[in-house]
Amino acid sequence: MYIIPAIDIIGGKCVRLTQGDYNQKKEYHDSPLEMAKRFEDAGISKLHLVDLDGAKAKKIINKQVLQSIASGTSLEVDFGGGVQSDEDIALAFELGAKQLTGGSIAVKNPAMFESWISTYGGEKIILGADAKDKKIAISGWEETTEVDLIDFIKSYHAKGISYVICTDVAKDGLLQGPSVALYKEIMQEIPGIKLIASGGVSNVKDLKELQKTGVYGAIVGKAYYEGRISLEELAAF
C-alpha cells in the first residue's frame, strides 16, 4: 500500500479543511515545496496536491505551487482542484502533474471526462469518488447526488479508469478512523481497481487496517499535520 500525503493549497499555503468547509480552515505551512521535500526525504514517492482556490474558481489558480513541487522534487504528483476544461488539464500536465484527479466533472460533464480518458489514458486520470451515505457528493461536497457510489466507480472502470480516490465525506478531517468496511466492499465489488482510501486516518493502526483491505494507497493529511503520525512512521510503510 502506498502512503500518499496530501497537500491542500489556499493562497499558496498548506492548509487543511474539516469536512471540506472553507470556514474550518487551518494553515500548517507557508511553503508547500518545503513540505513536499520533507515527504520526499522520508522516501515517499507520491503526493496528492489539491488546489482549493482552483476548486472554488473552477480553474487552476496555484500554478506556481504545482510547477515548483513537480520540478523541485521527484514526487509523482496527482493534481486536483478546479480542472474543468481541456486547456486546464493540458496545463496541469505541462506544469508537471503525473496524474490528474477529476470528481465533479465526471458527474456533471461525463463526455469531457471520458474524452480525457481517451486522450491521456486510464492510468493518468484518477476518478475522484467522494461519497456521503454511499451516494456521490460533488462541488466541494455541497451537493449530494442520487448517483450510487459503487455503480459510479464500476461504470468508469468499464470505460478504462484504473485509479479511484474514494473519500467518505462523513470521515474527512475528523481523525475518527477511515471507512474500512466501505473500502472492503468496493474492492470485493470491483476487483482490479486501484483504490486510494481518503479521509479519517488518525494513526498507524488505521493505516494497518486499510492495508489489510488490499487498497492501492492511503491518503494521509491532518493526522500527519496534527502530529498523530510521524514522518518516520509514514516512511516505515
Quote the pLDDT of residue 142.
Answer: 63
Angstrom distance (rounded) from CA 161 to CA 110:
13
For helices 180-189 and 204-213, the axis angle rounded to 10 degrees is 20
Quote the pLDDT of residue 162.
Answer: 97
Quote the pLDDT of residue 106.
Answer: 94
Angstrom distance (rounded) from CA 103 to CA 120:
16
Burial (Cβ within 10 Å: 0-12, 13-18, ≥19) of residue 158: exposed
Please give the positions annotated as active site: 8, 130
Furthest C-alpha separation in the chain: 43
Quote the pLDDT of residue 75.
Answer: 98
For residue 67, give the C-alpha cell. Answer: 510547477
Regions in the chain scoring below 50 on pLDDT: none
Does this model's pTM top 0.85? My answer is: yes
User: Which residue segment(s) compose the domain that 128 sits in?
Assistant: 2-236
User: What CATH number does residue 173 fall under?
Assistant: 3.20.20.70
Domains identified in the chain, total number: 1
Instruction: Compute the Cα dihedral for 37, 40, 44, 46 and give only its sign.
Output: positive
